């Protein structure tokens, strides 16, 4: 027997958390009966599951690395008909991005149809390290660097960088920051709070995965990379 929300996530249409929302909203049926209990189990071999009337089944899991370009939204569809990150990848499977990058932010983005895998990477307790190359509008002063490392309040909650690094020339307008936060616009809001403007943002690493391909390109993750991320 398999938990219903896990089965839906394994189909690749969404994460397990979102699958729970679908169940609670009454959008899931098992053998033509609407199910709203999160603890419901199914027989994978014999039960028929539908979401919004569409029959689903477990999909083959796939994992892609995209070096996201500017001018693309990190979602599966867009009400303004802008290009999405899923438009850039040719795959027979229905993909979704793990986390978000802003419209004009470039860099590492992982896409998959494996809901459990995605949930593991975005869950705050796992402290996944994200690294960003940041260009700001003026030199970062020492006191502000210290504040960013100690923590500042954004949206009523304290956030902080775990490291701030500079290049060989000690350019304090072009810096690299590391954090474990996945909140929307996190890096930009951190700098805005102390009166700096982010002019350019590039995610140079996510959970140790680096964009070793040109911007706008993608590739499948290797088995070694998948195993590393799964741990």
Yes or no: say if 74 and 104 are a contact pair by the CB < 8 Å rule: no
The two most distant CA atoms of the chain are separated, in Å, by: 65
Sequence ranges of the chain with CATH classification 3.30.70.580: 63-123+212-230
- At 135, the pLDDT band (50, 70, 90 cuts) reads very high
pLDDT single digits (tens) 147-203: 999 999 999 999 999 999 998 888 999 999 999 999 999 999 999 999 999 999 999
DSSP state of 18: H
Residue 41 pairs with which residues in a beta bridge?
A: 3
| Distance from the first to the final alpha carbon of the chain | 25
SS3 10: helix
Identify the sign of the CA torsion 86, 87, 93, 94: positive
Q: How far apart are CA 18 and CA 123, in angstroms?
A: 13
Contact between 2 and 42 under an 8 Å Cβ cutoff? The reply is yes
Count CB atoms within 10 A of the CB of residue 166. Answer: 14
From the CB of residue 29, how many other CB atoms can be counted at a distance below 10 Å?
16
Burial class (CB in 10 A: 0-12, 13-18, 19+), 212: exposed
Asked if the 2-55 domain carries CATH number 3.30.1540.10, the reply is no
C-beta of residue 207 within 8 angstroms of C-beta of residue 108: no
Q: Which top CATH class is 63-123+212-230?
A: alpha beta
In this predicted structure, the answer to whether residue 48 has a pLDDT above a threshold of 80 is yes
Q: Which 3 state secondary structure label does DSSP give 139? A: coil
Query: For residue 222, how many other CB atoms are within 10 A of its CB?
Result: 11
The ranges of the chain annotated as CATH 3.10.290.10 are 2-55
- pLDDT tens column, 112-134: 988 888 989 998 899 999 999 99
Q: Is 224 a catalytic residue?
A: no
Give just the sign of the alpha carbon dihedral 17, 59, 25, 77.
Answer: positive
Q: Which one of 77, 102, 155, 224 is the catalytic residue?
A: 102
Flag whether pLDDT at 59 surpasses 80: no
Task: Please state the rounded mean pLDDT for residues 12-17.
Answer: 80
Q: Where in the chain is the domain with CATH 3.30.2350.10?
A: 129-206
116: its two tokens: 């459990």
Tell me the HSE value of 124 on the side-chain side, using a 13 A CA sphere: 4
pLDDT tens-digit readout, 33-44: 999 999 999 998
Place domain 129-206 in its CATH homologous superfamily.
Pseudouridine synthase (3.30.2350.10)
């Amino acid at each position: 027997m398999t938990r219903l929300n896990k089965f839906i996530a394994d189909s690749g249409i969404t994460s397990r958390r979102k699958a729970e929302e679908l169940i609670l909203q009454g959008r899931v049926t098992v053998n033509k009966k609407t199910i709203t209990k999160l603890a419901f189990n199914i027989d994978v071999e014999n039960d028929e599951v539908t979401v919004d009337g569409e029959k689903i089944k477990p999909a083959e899991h796939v994992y892609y690395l995209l070096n996201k370009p500017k001018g693309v939204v990190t979602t599966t569809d867009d009400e303004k008909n802008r290009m999405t990150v899923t438009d850039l990848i040719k795959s027979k499977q229905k993909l979704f991005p793990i986390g978000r990058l802003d419209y004009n932010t470039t860099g590492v983005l992982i896409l998959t149809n494996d809901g459990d895998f995605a949930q593991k990477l975005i869950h705050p307790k796992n402290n996944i390290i994200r690294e960003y190359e940041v260009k700001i509008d003026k030199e970062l002063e020492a006191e502000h660097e210290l504040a960013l490392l100690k923590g500042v309040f954004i949206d009523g909650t304290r956030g902080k960088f775990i490291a701030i690094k500079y290049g060989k020339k000690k350019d304090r307008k072009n810096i690299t920051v590391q954090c474990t936060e996945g909140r929307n616009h996190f890096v930009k809001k951190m700098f805005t709070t102390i009166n700096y403007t982010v002019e350019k943002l590039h995610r140079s690493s996510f959970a140790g995965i680096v964009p070793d391909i040109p911007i706008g390109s993608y590739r499948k993750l290797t088995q070694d990379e998948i195993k590393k991320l799964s741990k």
